Amino acid sequence: MEYLTTWIIDNLGTVFVSTLISAIVSGVVSYAFSARLEKKRSLRIERKDHLNELKEVVLFPMLEVLDSYSSSLKYFINETPSEFMSIRPTNSKLFDVSHNHFPKLMEKWRNLEEKLLRYSQNCRAFYEGLGEHLAADVGLPIHDSFNVTKQPFISRSYQNLLYRSILKPQLYKDALSGLDVKKSTYADAQEAYELYWQGTTYAIGKEKQVQKCKTAFEKMAEKVDITSKAQSLLEEERELSKETKEVENTIRDIIERKDYSGKCQYCP
């Protein structure tokens, strides 16, 4: 090697050697720089793929679940309220690590689900309370099934109507003006009377008992504790609708992003 170097210096000169060495070093540095750039480019591609997977597997399904949650909110008001059940947007484990990338979103998501659960429980408690008020005021039991041979009783559908009417003033007015006490048309209860509206029998029994059911409906909306609770539930529903929309907007903002922060075990 020393001989080769001496020969090169003797025959080609010091300047050439310096140029040659410089070229070699430059080539090595250029190769290392190119390799580093390629690695960064490859990492960017992998991170982009990971973000796209998060969008497809986690974020878009979350939007679909939000639609279901919005429907649940309306259902709690318009139908017989049941307890809210949270929905897992995906079975993918990426959902379990999404808090590493989208901490604010996932916190909002958990808070929304907790509030929806409490709200459904509040609606259910109000519904049950109305049934207790109705049964106590009238002095008749509320039956889930309609069997005229077990009269007198109030049908569960009457409790449902009362619940929806208290929360929806127009429905209350329509029902109030349309509820009618009439002689029973049932063959097994020809001596009984019905509380009837729009094709549905809501109570059956003696005329005075059924008339009392109608009066109870009329007076229920006059009770301050009931109307104030109804207004509170309606306001809570409006706030939850806004919050659901805010979570949706947060998800859509993230979907528009080209990169993400944080790191999870599935990151490149």
pLDDT at position 263 is 87
Q: Which among 73, 125, 107, 108 is positioned nearest to 239, based on CA atoms?
A: 73
Which one-letter DSSP state was computed for residue 194? Answer: E
The reported pLDDT for the residue numbered 37 is: 46
- Average pLDDT over the chain reads 87
Three-class SS of residue 196? Answer: strand
Using the predicted structure, report yes or no on whether residue 106 has a pLDDT greater than 70. Answer: yes
For residue 211, the model assigns a pLDDT of 96
Both tokens of 41, joined, read 């480019």
Residues 6+ apart with CB under 8 A from 158: 134, 142, 195, 202, 203, 213, 217
pLDDT of residue 31: 47
Does 24 score more than 70 pLDDT? Answer: no
Query: Is residue 41's pLDDT more than 60?
Result: no
237 vs 23, 66, 108, 122, 195, CA distance in Å?
Answer: 73, 15, 17, 11, 31
- What tokens appear for 142 in the block? 């509320």
Q: Give CA separation, 163 vs 115, 126, 131, 134, 171, in Å.
A: 21, 8, 9, 11, 10
DSSP 8-state code for residue 155: E
- This prediction has a pTM of 0.81
pLDDT range class, residue 16, cuts 50, 70, 90 = low
pLDDT of residue 30: 53
Domain boundaries, the chain: 128-226
Q: Which DSSP string do the residues of 102-134 spell out, in sequence order?
A: -HHHHHHHHHHHHHHHHHHHHHHHHHHHHHHHH
